Amino acid sequence: MNSYDFSDKIAVITGGANGIGAAVAQRLVASGAKVAVWDMDIAAPDARLSGLSQDSIIYVRTDVSSLDSVLQAQEATEAALGRVDVLINSAGIAGPTAKLAEYPPEQWRRVQAVNVDGTFHTCRTVVPGMIVRNYGRIVNIASIAGKEGNPNASAYSSSKAAVIAMTKSLGKELAGHDIAVNCITPATAKTRILDQVSQEFIDYMLSKIPRGRFVTVEEIANLVLWMASAENSFTTGAVFDLSGGRATY
C-alpha cells in the first residue's frame, strides 16, 4: 500500500459517502488528512467510514448540481476545518441505458448537471482559495467511457469526456501555481452506480476489459492518493488510465 503524508491537509470528496469516494476518504484519513464528505446521501455512509474518528471526517449534505449548495458546503467546511487543500470530484451518476435517439431529455440534462456542472461548480468554488494559498490538488474522476464512448450511454460518455477536457483546461490555467489538476479514466468498478444500468450493459462493460474483471475501489484510491499528494508537484492537466488494458489512447 502506498503511503503519503496528508497530516496538514484538508480534503473535500464529493460523493464520498460511498463507492470510490469512500475508499479515497478512508485512505486519506489513514494518511493523516481531515476530510469533508460532500454528498447527497450522508445518512448511511459506507461501512468503511463508520470507524473513522469524528475529529477526522465531517459530512456535509451537498447537491453538486446546485452552485448554491456547493457554496454552502464550502462555507460549512471552512467553518469546521479552515480551508480546502485537496478536492476529489467523485460524485456522479450513470443515467439510464438507451439509444441516443430514444434517450429521455430530462435524464440527459440530469447526467450533465451532476457529472459536468457538479465538477465545474466545485472547482469554481475551491480554486480561488487555492490560488491565494498557492497550493492545491484536484482529482476528477472521469471514465474510460469519456475516451471511447459506450453504446447506449451517450449521456454518461459525453459527460465524462467533458470532465476530461475541463481537467486539461483548468490544469493549464493553474500551471503557474503549485496547484495540480488531473483526472483518472477508470474502467467499471462494482459500486452503486451499477444499480442504474441493465445487467446486459454490465456484462458488455466487463467483456471490454482485457484483465477480465472490474477495477476495485481500492485500486482507484491507490492512484488517487498519489495524484492528491504534495509529491505530485509537476504533473497537471493529465489523464491517467485505470482501465485494465481497455484504453486505446
The pLDDT score that the predictor gives to residue 237 is: 98
217 vs 69: CA distance, rounded Å? 27
Can you give the pLDDT at residue 47?
75
Residue 148 lies in a domain: yes
Kindly report the CATH number assigned to the domain that includes residue 30.
3.40.50.720
* Whole-Å CA distances, 84 to 122, 133, 165: 11, 10, 23
Asked if 129 and 83 touch (Cβ cutoff 8 Å), the reply is yes
Our CA angle for 231, 176, 143, nearest 5°, is 60
* The pLDDT value given to residue 197: 63
Asked if residue 136 belongs to a domain, the reply is yes
In whole angstroms, how far apart are CA 7 and each of 3, 50, 77, 230? 12, 20, 17, 11
CA atoms within 13 A on the CB side of 168: 7
Q: How many domains does the chain have?
A: 1
Cβ(20)–Cβ(41) below 8 Å: no
Catalytic amino acids? 156
Is 163 in contact with 184 (CB distance < 8 Å)?
no
Q: What is the pLDDT of residue 234?
A: 98
pLDDT confidence of residue 104: 97
- Within-domain flag for 198: yes
- pTM here? 0.93
Residue 246 lies in a domain: no
User: Is 86 in a helix, a strand, or coil?
Assistant: strand
Identify whether 49 is part of a domain: yes
CA distance 150 to 144: 9
pLDDT on residue 187: 84
- Helix (H/G/I), strand (E/B), else coil: 174: coil
Mean pLDDT for each consecutive 10-residue tract of the chain (249 residues)? 90 94 94 96 81 88 98 98 97 94 98 98 98 98 93 96 98 98 89 68 82 88 96 97 81
Is residue 160 assigned to a domain? yes
Within a domain: 245: no
Q: Please give the residue range of the domain that contains residue 190.
A: 10-240
Helical spans, DSSP H, in the chain: 19-30, 67-81, 105-112, 118-133, 145-148, 154-173, 199-207, 217-227
The three cell numbers locating residue 220: 482507484
Q: What is the pLDDT of residue 45?
A: 80
CA distances, 73 to each of 21, 123, 140 (Å): 17, 13, 18
In a 3-state reduction of DSSP, which class is residue 242?
A: strand
Amino acid, single-letter form, for residue 220: I
What whole-number distance in Å separates Cα of residue 117 and Cα of residue 172? 19
101 found inside a domain: yes
